Chain A
Amino acid sequence: MRRVVLDPGVFVSALITPSGSPGLLLREIRGGQMELFVSPRLLAELDEVLRRDKFRRYVSLAAARKYVRLVRNDATVAPDPQVLPPLRSADPKDDYLIALAHSQNAILVSGDKHLLDLCGGGAPILSPVDLLVAVA
């Protein structure tokens, strides 16, 4: 079974765009097609970003909190990596995601250009749509 780490942006996008590729990917994961890994830092970022006012036109705070709980319950919560990742993103704040995916031998799924640019170097980083195509 494929092991995946979704970055917080993919989780947010899946929530507010259920019919988009991140939403479809989350549905596949919940259907048991892949094993999902998160970490406390990833969950904290997801929780924090979904509290921001700009999301209130799409989803209530109560529903957003329920969503974070659901992600926490569905996923295997791995410890935050304490070591540097084998590759570094142009945005250092993404490095923990690379380290988390590496530590769990998982594919990192992201819609972030900085991270997807690393894919050309052979890193197991895919966009939601590319992973959906790969598992189809």
Chain B
Amino acid sequence: MAKTRTTLTIDEDVFRAVKIKAARTGKRDSQVIEESLRRDLGMDDLDDIWAQVKPAPEEEGLRLAYSELHAMREEKEKHETGRP
């Protein structure tokens, strides 16, 4: 993903903590800040979920998604109307 340059104004104690963590982990300050923001914004959650998925081929995934959606709606309608 493309990077963008920005300027942040943060409390000195937060900045010190960033520097300490960067030094301890061997990462750049910007990496520590980005990882922290990603965690806070929940941006890593999707990758965590995807890491647990056994992927389907795209065509199969799309076909299955809609066939099951339509089947689910059909069953629900039958259940609600009492139709056999």
Q: Which residues of A contact B (CB under 8 A)?
A: 8-10, 12-13, 15-23, 26-27, 30-31, 45, 48-49, 52, 54-55, 57-60, 63, 66-67, 70, 73-74, 91, 93, 111-112
23 A–B contacts from the bound complex (CB under 8 Å): A8-B65, A12-B69, A13-B58, A15-B50, A15-B53, A16-B53, A16-B61, A20-B61, A22-B61, A23-B50, A48-B72, A52-B71, A54-B68, A55-B64, A57-B54, A58-B53, A58-B54, A58-B56, A58-B61, A60-B52, A66-B45, A70-B42, A70-B45
Q: How far is the CB of A61 from chain B (nearest CB, A)?
A: 11
Q: How far is the CB of A79 from chain B (nearest CB, A)?
A: 21
**With an 8 A cutoff between CB atoms, is B49 at the interface?**
yes
**Which residue of A is nearest B67, CB measured?**
A54
Query: Is B53 a contact partner of A59 (Cβ separation < 8 A)?
Result: yes
Q: Please, how many residues of chain B have a CB less than 8 angstroms from a CB on the other chain?
A: 27
Given contacts A48-B72, A70-B45, contact A111 B65 (CB under 8 A): yes
Report chain B residues within 8 Å CB of A66.
45, 49
Query: Is A20 a contact partner of B68 (Cβ separation < 8 A)?
Result: no
Query: Is A73 a contact partner of B42 (Cβ separation < 8 A)?
Result: yes
